[in-house]
Structure 1
Amino acid sequence: MTRYAALLRGIMPSNPAMANDRLRGVLHDLGMEQVASVLASGNLVFTAPEQDVPTLEATVQQALHETLGIPGGTIIRSLEELRALLDSDPFPGLTHGRGTYLTATFVKDGAAPPTDLSEWADPASGVVGFDAEARAFLAVTDNSVEGRTTEFMAWLDRTYGRDITTRTWLTVQRIVRRLENP
Protein backbone atom coordinates (compact mmCIF):
# COMPACT_ATOMS: atom_id res chain seq x y z
CA MET A 1 0.00 0.00 0.00
CA THR A 2 1.16 3.52 -0.80
CA ARG A 3 0.27 6.89 0.68
CA TYR A 4 -0.83 9.46 -1.89
CA ALA A 5 -1.97 13.08 -1.99
CA ALA A 6 -4.59 14.24 -4.48
CA LEU A 7 -4.19 17.95 -5.25
CA LEU A 8 -7.40 19.20 -6.83
CA ARG A 9 -7.55 22.35 -8.94
CA GLY A 10 -10.31 24.91 -8.61
CA ILE A 11 -11.90 23.76 -5.36
CA MET A 12 -14.12 26.42 -3.79
CA PRO A 13 -14.94 25.54 -0.17
CA SER A 14 -18.08 27.70 -0.35
CA ASN A 15 -19.52 25.37 -3.03
CA PRO A 16 -21.47 22.59 -1.22
CA ALA A 17 -20.53 20.07 -3.94
CA MET A 18 -16.87 20.69 -3.11
CA ALA A 19 -17.08 20.28 0.67
CA ASN A 20 -14.35 18.12 2.20
CA ASP A 21 -16.77 15.40 3.32
CA ARG A 22 -18.10 15.02 -0.24
CA LEU A 23 -14.59 14.99 -1.72
CA ARG A 24 -13.49 12.33 0.78
CA GLY A 25 -16.63 10.32 0.00
CA VAL A 26 -15.68 10.04 -3.67
CA LEU A 27 -12.29 8.54 -2.74
CA HIS A 28 -13.90 6.20 -0.19
CA ASP A 29 -16.29 5.00 -2.90
CA LEU A 30 -13.28 4.25 -5.11
CA GLY A 31 -11.92 1.97 -2.37
CA MET A 32 -9.24 4.28 -1.03
CA GLU A 33 -8.36 3.90 2.66
CA GLN A 34 -7.35 6.37 5.38
CA VAL A 35 -8.84 9.25 3.37
CA ALA A 36 -8.42 12.64 5.00
CA SER A 37 -8.57 16.31 4.02
CA VAL A 38 -5.83 18.87 4.51
CA LEU A 39 -7.31 22.36 4.73
CA ALA A 40 -10.44 23.15 2.70
CA SER A 41 -8.87 23.77 -0.68
CA GLY A 42 -8.80 20.41 -2.41
CA ASN A 43 -6.02 18.49 -0.71
CA LEU A 44 -6.84 14.86 0.03
CA VAL A 45 -4.52 12.19 1.39
CA PHE A 46 -5.22 8.48 1.16
CA THR A 47 -3.81 4.97 1.04
CA ALA A 48 -4.17 2.75 -2.02
CA PRO A 49 -2.30 -0.08 -3.70
CA GLU A 50 0.75 1.19 -5.57
CA GLN A 51 -0.28 1.91 -9.15
CA ASP A 52 0.31 3.92 -12.28
CA VAL A 53 -0.19 7.57 -11.23
CA PRO A 54 -1.64 8.87 -14.54
CA THR A 55 -4.25 6.10 -14.43
CA LEU A 56 -5.03 6.87 -10.78
CA GLU A 57 -5.35 10.59 -11.60
CA ALA A 58 -7.77 9.82 -14.43
CA THR A 59 -9.84 7.48 -12.24
CA VAL A 60 -10.12 10.02 -9.42
CA GLN A 61 -10.86 12.87 -11.82
CA GLN A 62 -13.57 10.92 -13.63
CA ALA A 63 -15.23 10.01 -10.32
CA LEU A 64 -15.08 13.62 -9.10
CA HIS A 65 -16.65 14.80 -12.35
CA GLU A 66 -19.37 12.14 -12.46
CA THR A 67 -20.24 12.36 -8.75
CA LEU A 68 -19.78 16.05 -7.93
CA GLY A 69 -19.51 17.79 -11.29
CA ILE A 70 -15.95 18.95 -10.64
CA PRO A 71 -14.57 19.74 -14.10
CA GLY A 72 -10.89 18.89 -13.85
CA GLY A 73 -7.44 19.26 -12.50
CA THR A 74 -6.46 16.26 -10.37
CA ILE A 75 -2.76 15.81 -9.66
CA ILE A 76 -1.52 12.92 -7.52
CA ARG A 77 1.83 12.55 -5.81
CA SER A 78 3.12 9.85 -3.49
CA LEU A 79 4.40 10.51 0.01
CA GLU A 80 7.88 9.56 -1.19
CA GLU A 81 7.84 12.18 -3.96
CA LEU A 82 6.59 14.94 -1.68
CA ARG A 83 8.97 13.99 1.16
CA ALA A 84 11.92 14.11 -1.28
CA LEU A 85 10.77 17.55 -2.45
CA LEU A 86 10.70 18.86 1.13
CA ASP A 87 14.05 17.26 1.91
CA SER A 88 15.64 18.96 -1.11
CA ASP A 89 15.19 22.32 0.67
CA PRO A 90 14.57 24.32 -2.53
CA PHE A 91 14.07 27.59 -0.62
CA PRO A 92 17.19 27.76 1.59
CA GLY A 93 17.10 30.70 3.95
CA LEU A 94 13.66 31.85 2.78
CA THR A 95 10.52 31.90 4.90
CA HIS A 96 6.96 31.84 3.65
CA GLY A 97 5.10 34.84 4.99
CA ARG A 98 2.81 37.74 4.22
CA GLY A 99 5.40 39.54 2.10
CA THR A 100 6.94 36.54 0.38
CA TYR A 101 5.09 33.41 -0.73
CA LEU A 102 6.95 30.21 -1.49
CA THR A 103 4.98 28.06 -3.92
CA ALA A 104 5.05 24.75 -5.73
CA THR A 105 3.12 24.39 -8.99
CA PHE A 106 2.60 20.73 -9.83
CA VAL A 107 2.19 19.51 -13.42
CA LYS A 108 0.74 16.24 -14.69
CA ASP A 109 2.85 13.15 -15.24
CA GLY A 110 4.08 13.13 -18.81
CA ALA A 111 4.03 16.93 -19.13
CA ALA A 112 7.12 18.16 -20.94
CA PRO A 113 9.62 19.55 -18.43
CA PRO A 114 10.81 23.09 -19.09
CA THR A 115 13.88 23.48 -21.25
CA ASP A 116 14.89 26.94 -20.08
CA LEU A 117 13.75 28.85 -17.01
CA SER A 118 16.31 31.64 -17.30
CA GLU A 119 13.57 34.05 -18.47
CA TRP A 120 12.00 33.74 -15.01
CA ALA A 121 15.19 33.80 -12.94
CA ASP A 122 14.70 36.71 -10.58
CA PRO A 123 15.98 36.54 -7.00
CA ALA A 124 13.26 38.90 -5.72
CA SER A 125 10.28 37.28 -7.38
CA GLY A 126 10.77 34.36 -9.67
CA VAL A 127 11.22 30.71 -10.34
CA VAL A 128 13.68 28.88 -8.12
CA GLY A 129 13.64 25.83 -10.36
CA PHE A 130 11.84 22.72 -11.50
CA ASP A 131 11.92 19.55 -9.39
CA ALA A 132 11.76 16.69 -11.91
CA GLU A 133 10.88 13.96 -9.39
CA ALA A 134 7.92 15.89 -7.93
CA ARG A 135 7.15 17.46 -11.31
CA ALA A 136 6.83 20.86 -9.72
CA PHE A 137 7.89 24.42 -10.44
CA LEU A 138 9.18 26.14 -7.33
CA ALA A 139 8.75 29.89 -7.13
CA VAL A 140 9.11 32.85 -4.81
CA THR A 141 6.49 35.56 -4.89
CA ASP A 142 7.62 38.87 -3.49
CA ASN A 143 4.29 40.60 -2.88
CA SER A 144 5.93 44.02 -3.14
CA VAL A 145 6.87 43.36 -6.80
CA GLU A 146 3.91 43.53 -9.18
CA GLY A 147 3.56 41.78 -12.50
CA ARG A 148 6.39 39.26 -12.66
CA THR A 149 4.59 36.47 -10.84
CA THR A 150 1.38 37.10 -12.75
CA GLU A 151 3.31 36.76 -16.01
CA PHE A 152 4.84 33.48 -14.83
CA MET A 153 1.46 32.05 -13.77
CA ALA A 154 -0.02 33.10 -17.14
CA TRP A 155 2.89 31.34 -18.88
CA LEU A 156 2.22 28.19 -16.84
CA ASP A 157 -1.46 28.27 -17.83
CA ARG A 158 -0.62 28.78 -21.51
CA THR A 159 2.01 26.05 -21.46
CA TYR A 160 0.32 23.40 -19.30
CA GLY A 161 -3.38 24.37 -19.34
CA ARG A 162 -5.58 22.92 -16.63
CA ASP A 163 -3.01 20.22 -15.91
CA ILE A 164 -1.40 22.24 -13.09
CA THR A 165 -2.21 23.24 -9.56
CA THR A 166 -0.31 25.50 -7.16
CA ARG A 167 0.16 25.09 -3.40
CA THR A 168 2.01 27.24 -0.91
CA TRP A 169 5.08 25.69 0.64
CA LEU A 170 3.29 25.67 4.01
CA THR A 171 0.45 23.64 2.48
CA VAL A 172 2.92 21.16 0.95
CA GLN A 173 4.49 20.76 4.41
CA ARG A 174 1.04 20.19 6.00
CA ILE A 175 0.16 17.60 3.35
CA VAL A 176 3.36 15.67 4.01
CA ARG A 177 2.79 15.76 7.79
CA ARG A 178 -0.72 14.38 7.26
CA LEU A 179 0.56 11.68 4.88
CA GLU A 180 3.13 10.61 7.46
CA ASN A 181 0.59 10.59 10.31
CA PRO A 182 -2.65 9.05 8.99
Structure 2
Amino acid sequence: MKKNVLSLALAVVIGTAVTASTPVEVVTKEVKTGESTVTWKGYKVTGSHYGIINLQSGSLSFEGDKLVGGEFVVDMQSLISQDLEGEYKGKLEGHLKSDDFFGVEKFPTSTLVFTEVKANGKNSYEVTGDLTIKGITKAVTFDVSVYGSKATATMKVDRSEYDVRYGSGSFFDNLGDKTIYDEFDLVVDLQF
Protein backbone atom coordinates (compact mmCIF):
# COMPACT_ATOMS: atom_id res chain seq x y z
CA MET A 1 0.00 0.00 0.00
CA LYS A 2 2.79 2.41 0.97
CA LYS A 3 4.55 1.56 -2.29
CA ASN A 4 1.39 2.35 -4.32
CA VAL A 5 0.89 5.69 -2.54
CA LEU A 6 4.57 6.57 -3.06
CA SER A 7 4.35 5.61 -6.75
CA LEU A 8 1.18 7.69 -7.17
CA ALA A 9 2.75 10.70 -5.45
CA LEU A 10 5.87 10.40 -7.60
CA ALA A 11 3.74 10.17 -10.77
CA VAL A 12 1.81 13.34 -9.80
CA VAL A 13 5.04 15.26 -9.08
CA ILE A 14 6.66 14.17 -12.36
CA GLY A 15 3.45 14.85 -14.33
CA THR A 16 3.18 18.32 -12.81
CA ALA A 17 6.84 19.07 -13.55
CA VAL A 18 6.46 17.98 -17.19
CA THR A 19 3.26 20.01 -17.59
CA ALA A 20 4.81 23.09 -15.97
CA SER A 21 7.85 22.99 -18.24
CA THR A 22 5.88 22.47 -21.46
CA PRO A 23 5.94 25.85 -23.22
CA VAL A 24 2.68 27.35 -24.39
CA GLU A 25 2.70 27.84 -28.14
CA VAL A 26 2.83 31.42 -29.38
CA VAL A 27 0.19 32.02 -32.03
CA THR A 28 0.45 35.05 -34.30
CA LYS A 29 -2.83 36.44 -35.63
CA GLU A 30 -2.83 38.71 -38.66
CA VAL A 31 -4.80 41.95 -38.32
CA LYS A 32 -7.56 42.48 -40.87
CA THR A 33 -6.30 45.82 -42.17
CA GLY A 34 -9.47 46.58 -44.15
CA GLU A 35 -11.64 46.19 -41.04
CA SER A 36 -9.29 47.94 -38.60
CA THR A 37 -9.03 51.70 -38.06
CA VAL A 38 -6.38 54.13 -36.85
CA THR A 39 -7.80 57.56 -36.02
CA TRP A 40 -5.52 60.53 -35.36
CA LYS A 41 -6.25 63.85 -33.71
CA GLY A 42 -3.87 66.82 -33.59
CA TYR A 43 -4.32 69.95 -31.51
CA LYS A 44 -3.50 73.62 -32.00
CA VAL A 45 -4.23 76.73 -29.93
CA THR A 46 -7.29 77.55 -32.04
CA GLY A 47 -8.76 74.02 -32.28
CA SER A 48 -7.95 70.58 -33.64
CA HIS A 49 -8.00 68.39 -36.73
CA TYR A 50 -8.69 64.67 -37.00
CA GLY A 51 -8.70 61.92 -39.56
CA ILE A 52 -7.60 58.40 -40.31
CA ILE A 53 -4.54 56.55 -41.53
CA ASN A 54 -4.41 52.99 -42.86
CA LEU A 55 -2.56 50.01 -41.53
CA GLN A 56 -0.43 48.40 -44.22
CA SER A 57 0.04 45.25 -42.13
CA GLY A 58 -0.15 44.10 -38.55
CA SER A 59 -0.19 41.13 -36.24
CA LEU A 60 -0.74 40.32 -32.58
CA SER A 61 0.93 37.38 -30.82
CA PHE A 62 -0.73 35.33 -28.09
CA GLU A 63 0.22 32.57 -25.67
CA GLY A 64 -3.16 30.96 -25.13
CA ASP A 65 -5.45 33.96 -24.69
CA LYS A 66 -2.68 36.20 -23.27
CA LEU A 67 -1.27 39.00 -25.46
CA VAL A 68 2.54 38.71 -25.70
CA GLY A 69 3.56 40.73 -28.78
CA GLY A 70 2.65 42.73 -31.84
CA GLU A 71 4.03 44.41 -34.95
CA PHE A 72 2.44 47.03 -37.20
CA VAL A 73 3.26 48.97 -40.34
CA VAL A 74 1.30 52.16 -41.08
CA ASP A 75 0.92 53.55 -44.61
CA MET A 76 1.80 57.20 -44.04
CA GLN A 77 0.70 58.14 -47.57
CA SER A 78 -2.88 57.17 -46.67
CA LEU A 79 -3.18 59.95 -44.04
CA ILE A 80 -6.41 61.91 -44.57
CA SER A 81 -8.35 64.59 -42.72
CA GLN A 82 -12.01 63.97 -41.89
CA ASP A 83 -12.91 67.33 -40.37
CA LEU A 84 -12.40 69.49 -43.47
CA GLU A 85 -13.71 69.47 -47.04
CA GLY A 86 -12.63 70.74 -50.42
CA GLU A 87 -9.63 73.03 -50.78
CA TYR A 88 -8.84 73.19 -47.04
CA LYS A 89 -8.92 69.40 -46.73
CA GLY A 90 -6.44 69.08 -49.61
CA LYS A 91 -4.17 71.77 -48.18
CA LEU A 92 -4.06 70.18 -44.72
CA GLU A 93 -3.42 66.69 -46.08
CA GLY A 94 -0.70 67.97 -48.40
CA HIS A 95 0.96 69.87 -45.58
CA LEU A 96 0.85 66.90 -43.18
CA LYS A 97 2.45 64.70 -45.87
CA SER A 98 5.14 67.29 -46.67
CA ASP A 99 8.60 67.53 -45.12
CA ASP A 100 7.20 70.12 -42.66
CA PHE A 101 5.46 67.22 -40.93
CA PHE A 102 5.80 63.52 -41.83
CA GLY A 103 7.75 63.63 -45.12
CA VAL A 104 5.83 60.68 -46.56
CA GLU A 105 7.69 60.68 -49.87
CA LYS A 106 10.94 59.84 -48.08
CA PHE A 107 9.29 57.97 -45.17
CA PRO A 108 6.24 56.16 -46.65
CA THR A 109 5.72 53.94 -43.59
CA SER A 110 5.91 54.11 -39.82
CA THR A 111 6.24 51.04 -37.61
CA LEU A 112 5.42 49.89 -34.10
CA VAL A 113 7.00 46.77 -32.59
CA PHE A 114 5.97 45.64 -29.10
CA THR A 115 8.99 45.09 -26.84
CA GLU A 116 7.21 44.38 -23.53
CA VAL A 117 3.65 43.38 -22.65
CA LYS A 118 2.41 43.33 -19.03
CA ALA A 119 -1.06 42.19 -18.04
CA ASN A 120 -2.70 44.81 -15.81
CA GLY A 121 -6.18 43.37 -15.52
CA LYS A 122 -8.56 41.04 -17.29
CA ASN A 123 -8.15 41.59 -21.05
CA SER A 124 -6.02 44.68 -20.33
CA TYR A 125 -2.31 45.18 -20.96
CA GLU A 126 0.36 47.83 -20.58
CA VAL A 127 2.47 47.69 -23.73
CA THR A 128 5.85 49.26 -24.40
CA GLY A 129 6.97 49.34 -28.00
CA ASP A 130 9.42 50.89 -30.42
CA LEU A 131 7.62 53.47 -32.56
CA THR A 132 9.46 54.58 -35.70
CA ILE A 133 8.38 57.79 -37.47
CA LYS A 134 10.56 59.52 -40.07
CA GLY A 135 13.31 56.96 -39.45
CA ILE A 136 13.52 57.87 -35.74
CA THR A 137 12.71 55.17 -33.18
CA LYS A 138 11.53 55.98 -29.64
CA ALA A 139 9.92 53.86 -26.94
CA VAL A 140 6.23 54.51 -26.23
CA THR A 141 3.98 53.03 -23.54
CA PHE A 142 0.22 52.67 -23.88
CA ASP A 143 -2.72 50.48 -22.85
CA VAL A 144 -4.29 47.76 -24.99
CA SER A 145 -7.57 45.95 -24.36
CA VAL A 146 -8.36 42.63 -26.07
CA TYR A 147 -11.86 41.16 -26.36
CA GLY A 148 -12.32 38.08 -28.53
CA SER A 149 -11.05 38.96 -32.01
CA LYS A 150 -10.89 42.72 -31.33
CA ALA A 151 -8.29 44.94 -29.69
CA THR A 152 -8.30 48.64 -28.89
CA ALA A 153 -5.53 51.03 -27.90
CA THR A 154 -5.18 54.75 -27.27
CA MET A 155 -1.82 56.46 -27.27
CA LYS A 156 -0.31 59.92 -27.15
CA VAL A 157 2.66 60.59 -29.42
CA ASP A 158 5.03 63.53 -28.98
CA ARG A 159 5.81 64.55 -32.57
CA SER A 160 8.78 66.68 -31.50
CA GLU A 161 10.67 63.47 -30.62
CA TYR A 162 10.43 62.45 -34.29
CA ASP A 163 11.73 65.72 -35.76
CA VAL A 164 8.23 66.96 -36.66
CA ARG A 165 8.83 70.59 -35.69
CA TYR A 166 6.47 72.72 -37.78
CA GLY A 167 4.52 75.14 -35.57
CA SER A 168 5.91 73.60 -32.38
CA GLY A 169 6.24 75.87 -29.38
CA SER A 170 9.08 73.59 -28.24
CA PHE A 171 11.25 74.81 -31.11
CA PHE A 172 9.91 78.23 -32.12
CA ASP A 173 9.10 81.35 -30.09
CA ASN A 174 6.29 83.85 -30.63
CA LEU A 175 3.97 81.54 -32.59
CA GLY A 176 0.93 82.83 -30.71
CA ASP A 177 -2.31 81.34 -32.02
CA LYS A 178 -0.37 79.54 -34.79
CA THR A 179 1.12 77.12 -32.23
CA ILE A 180 0.46 73.44 -32.90
CA TYR A 181 0.80 71.24 -29.81
CA ASP A 182 3.47 68.55 -29.85
CA GLU A 183 1.28 65.69 -28.67
CA PHE A 184 -1.27 64.07 -30.93
CA ASP A 185 -3.62 61.17 -30.18
CA LEU A 186 -3.99 57.83 -31.92
CA VAL A 187 -7.04 55.63 -31.32
CA VAL A 188 -6.65 52.15 -32.76
CA ASP A 189 -9.44 49.59 -33.27
CA LEU A 190 -8.16 46.26 -34.53
CA GLN A 191 -9.96 43.23 -35.95
CA PHE A 192 -8.01 39.98 -36.24
TM-score, structure 2 as length reference = 0.27
Q: Rg bigger for which structure? A: 2
- Greater RCO, 1 or 2 (C-alpha within 8 Å, sep 6+): 1
Structure number with higher strand proportion: 2
Structure number with higher helix proportion: 1
TM-score, structure 1 as length reference = 0.28
